Structure 1
Amino acid sequence: MPRAPLLEFTDRGIYCAKGKFYVDPWKPVDDAVITHAHADHSYPGHKRYLAHHLSREVMLHRLGEINLQTVEYGEKVMKNGVEISMFPAGHVIGSAQIRIEYQGEVWVVSGDYKTEDDGVCAPFEPVRCHQFISECTFGMPVYQWKPQAQIFDDMNNWWRHNVERGLATVVAGYSLGKAQRILQNLDLSIGKVYTHGVIENTNEALRRNGIILNPTERITKESIKDEVRKGIILAPPSSVGTPWMRKFGPYSFGYCSGWMAIRGAKRRRAADRGFVLSDHADWTGLISAIDATDCECVYLTHGYTASFTRYLSEIGFNAREVHTLYGAEDDEGEPPQPAEGEQKESTESDVEQKERAGERSGIA
């Protein structure tokens, strides 16, 4: 009789029966091992959490007082005889692939990942395994990222041109990951960086965790509008089109997302500039990452799962599609969907709804 697989996909999340723990569960459980602090992977309500130490302060900021154990990359933890260790995923600061081993059988749960070294978070490291669980958010050939140096040269030139024309510059990007990546690649000789409260709260949490970020100034009710307009404003997607954003006009508005590679996406975001910048692997990155694991089987959890599964099978991989609740945290969780002959925005996450509420209450 064949041995049961080390991990299984359940209605609560990815479960290890031998170790009696879940990886990124979306319903309350006793033991949760977390790949990263985005809300579709780090849910509230678990009794115990295990995560990388650079996720600590962001998780506490988002989830409140939780029973949280943290580890370094490569550090081993035993749960009921099952060995757990974490390796860089390259997605956002603190993101990790979870390596799980029992009696010589090795599984890796990658969470979300990107293969380009962004210079901000620890770069992705392939981990050899028997079974690999992968995202495929951008698992279509059209998604091929340019080197980020080109994207940020373009962004800095755009900002400089806006200053010369007397326009404020607003850039939208998710508060954990995208915002820090943008911040660390801006040319600060052009001006100051001003932040929406949602982004600054995340920056402060990361700084408490020992992360060194470029200087930023939180926008408050006391901020002088004319001074803010001389710099660049980092804003979360939830602020787009709100009175908070409109008060800085006239401005030029840029949106950062992998979906900017889709024809018409910039217009549908009402953006003046679309920057194709993603914290997820592109088509080439996904294939190279999967191949580097030398896995016997790859499970695809979210994104273009059906078509990417077919393609991988055609080129010789043993690929399987599974259904999870991952992929709804940031503006790259799912592509804009058509509605009445036009495409609409992806659903706002619970975190962004809370962020919007915070903005209305004046804390942003």
Structure 2
Amino acid sequence: MNGDLVVQRPEGLYCPPGDFYIDPWRPVARAVITHAHSDHARHGNGHYLAAAPAEGVLRARLGDIALQTLPYGETLQHHGVTVSLHPAGHVLGSAQVRLEHGGQVWVASGDYKVAPDPTCTPFEPVRCDVFITESTFGLPIYRWCPDEEVFGDINAWWARNVDHGRASVLACYSFGKAQRVLAGVDPSIAPIVVHGAVKPLNEAYRAAGVSLPDTTMVTDVKDKADLRRCLVICPPSAAASPWMRRFGAAQTAFASGWMQVRGNRRRGGYDRGFVLSDHADWPGLHEAIAATGAQRVIVTHGSSPAMVRHLRERGLQAQAFETEYGDDVVEADLEAGGEVS
């Protein structure tokens, strides 16, 4: 529509009056970044703007970039557009982008979750006229259990494996999910070993003031008996690599929202699946959308057709943007190449 504050372009989501992009998937001169996952924060942009808490993880993933940071809730003016960043509750430093211009307020959510998480600032609803929402888990089958139940199951699984003298290998994405798992498990059960892809992100979290338990690298384990009782946090690619041999006959599990569908665990060859997501579930998506007060909603990656149809049935103006954002699977695919990012 004419006068829209965000439109689709081949490079990504573009703000015409501000002449900048939000999470572009092609290199551009100016990019506002919602968070540091690889499908939203890419190399090659001339200038990056992100929330202040994201600085460490962005630099860990993208290196020496021209990065400007903005504290949550503070505003800046760019070509007459008022820009502010607000907590998205997805991962450390994740932000929703609020744009105000010409009497309109738009919010681009990036990825978000509404459930509490000790490793990042909680989701903050932002009132707006138009809300651009993700829909990674935008189907009614996706409904998350409370974290305390999930971590109770993970701790019990780990403790049983310790009793049987076998390591517990928990595959999860190196940025965000790994740190959330570390913050939720009981470190008194046995030592915790992390993969090399996880370590620099842990350091960035700790530098940002997030409390995580002590961990070690496998090469630093002094007592080899610990390799038969430890909890191993690694990306999915490592769980299917020769790196695993040093842990012997380990039990394997995968922590992801995709584990809600049992067939995904079987296809991955995991012994267990724990349903733990850094995205909003079906009720959470609708809670977040309603809290904005927006009458127009634009849906991006995920189950866009189902979400658009449901929102229209509720009387909202709804449409979808075609984007190149992925979901948790994108992180797994990128890590399979051996990159931290």
Per the shorter chain, which TM-score range? over 0.9
Aligned to 2:110: 111
Identity of aligned residues (%): 47
Aligned mates of 1:305, 1:220 — CA distance in 2? 44
Aligned to 1:325: 324
Corresponding position: 1:349 with 2:333: yes
> Which runs of structure 2 are paired with 1:8-27 in the superposition (5 Å)?
8-27=7-26
Corresponding position: 1:28 with 2:27: yes
TM-score by length of 2: 0.95
Corresponding position: 1:60 with 2:59: yes
Letter in 2 for 1:41: H
Corresponding position: 1:253 with 2:237: no
Aligned to 2:210: 211
Aligned to 1:40: 39
- The alpha-carbon deviation at position 226 of structure 1 amounts to 2.5
Corresponding position: 1:272 with 2:271: yes
Q: Deviations over 1:130-182 (max 9, x none)?
A: 11001101111111111111000011011111111111111011011110110
TM-score by length of 1: 0.90
- The alpha-carbon deviation at position 94 of structure 1 amounts to 0.7
Q: Secondary structure at the match of 1:184?
A: helix
Aligned to 1:197: 196
Q: Deviations over 1:14-61 (max 9, x none)?
A: 111111111001111111000000010001001100001221122112
Q: Secondary structure at the match of 1:310?
A: helix
Paired residues of 2:95 and 2:109 also in contact (CA < 8 A): yes
- The alpha-carbon deviation at position 220 of structure 1 amounts to 2.5
Aligned mates of 1:156, 1:210 — CA distance in 2? 24
Q: Deviations over 1:97-130 (max 9, x none)?
A: 0111113210000000011012221111111101
Q: Deviations over 1:278-325 (max 9, x none)?
A: 001000001111111110211111001112111111122211011000
Aligned mates of 1:351, 1:158 — CA distance in 2? 26
Paired residues of 1:171 and 1:234 also in contact (CA < 8 A): yes
Paired residues of 1:7 and 1:16 also in contact (CA < 8 A): yes
Aligned to 1:362: none
Aligned to 2:84: 85
- Structure 2 unaligned spans of 5+: none
> Which runs of structure 2 are paired with 1:167-316 in the superposition (5 Å)?
167-220=166-219, 224-316=223-315
Paired residues of 2:155 and 2:186 also in contact (CA < 8 A): yes
Q: Deviations over 1:198-257 (max 9, x none)?
A: 001211222233433221112227765422332211011111211101321211111101
Q: Deviations over 1:53-109 (max 9, x none)?
A: 221122112112110011111011111111111111010111010111113210000
Letter in 1 for 2:71: E
Paired residues of 1:54 and 1:206 also in contact (CA < 8 A): no
Between the two proteins, the alignment pairs up a number of residues equal to 341
Q: Secondary structure at the match of 1:85?
A: strand
Aligned to 1:343: none
Paired residues of 2:119 and 2:210 also in contact (CA < 8 A): no
Aligned mates of 2:335, 2:174 — CA distance in 1? 10
Aligned mates of 1:350, 1:264 — CA distance in 2? 22
Aligned to 2:99: 100
Q: Secondary structure at the match of 2:181?
A: helix
Letter in 1 for 2:232: I
Letter in 2 for 1:54: P
Corresponding position: 1:129 with 2:128: yes
Aligned to 2:68: 69
Aligned mates of 2:117, 2:233 — CA distance in 1? 18
347-356 vs 136-145, greater mean Cα deviation: 347-356
Paired residues of 1:192 and 1:232 also in contact (CA < 8 A): yes
Corresponding position: 1:148 with 2:132: no
